[in-house]
Amino acid sequence: MPAVVAFEEKPNPIGRVFLHALMLWAGVGCLVWMILLLVFGSSATKTAAPGEILPDVRRAHELFAQRCVPCHGSTGHGDGPASANLNPKPRQFANATWQASISDDQIESTIRLGGAAMGKSSLMPPNPDLERDPALLAGLRVVVREFRR
């Protein structure tokens, strides 16, 4: 009976589809925003957690040029101008095997305490002033790691 079907109550189907699409769109939009906020929101506002040290890499680069390049060289090959007569030679930071063999802690301790205190050559001088500046010390460690090839 096609006539009955034709008069059946039919709320505007276009409107309903549109409404559903709108709700879906809003729902998905909210979800996407929540995910974006979760992923990027936390890192954008990242501050140092209590006890965490953020390496000061900018100052470390300056200090490295003054204090470390004379021996370790500007390319990390241990061939700075003051290295010619040193035996053993300053560590080659570019050496991947060495980089893999040493921990961040060991690097920082060697820089702070010097080679002798770490059972290495006393030609690697201590930097006791960095004791009071952990961000700079951590920055130097980052600089040393940057030479890894």
Tokens 């709320």 — which residue?
11
- Hey, which residues between 4 and 33 contact ligand HEC (CB under 6 A)? none
Using CB under 6 A as the binding rule, whether residue 112 contacts ligand HEC is answered as: no
> 12 or 101: whose CB is closer to ligand HEC?
101
Considering only 55, 92, 99, 110, the residue that binds ligand HEC (CB under 6 A) is 110
62/68 Cα distance (integer angstroms): 10
Q: Where are the alpha helices (DSSP H) in the chain?
A: 2-7, 13-36, 42-44, 57-63, 69-72, 96-101, 104-113, 134-146
Using CB under 6 A as the binding rule, whether residue 59 contacts ligand HEC is answered as: no
> 37 or 82: whose CB is closer to ligand HEC?
82
Tokens 């039919």 — which residue?
10
Using CB under 6 A as the binding rule, whether residue 111 contacts ligand HEC is answered as: yes
Tokens 């409404």 — which residue?
19
Using CB under 6 A as the binding rule, whether residue 92 contacts ligand HEC is answered as: no
Cis amide prior to 88 (ω within 30 degrees): yes
Residues that bind ligand HEC (CB under 6 A): 67-68, 70-72, 82, 86, 88, 90-91, 102, 106-107, 110-111, 115, 120-121, 123-125, 127, 140, 144
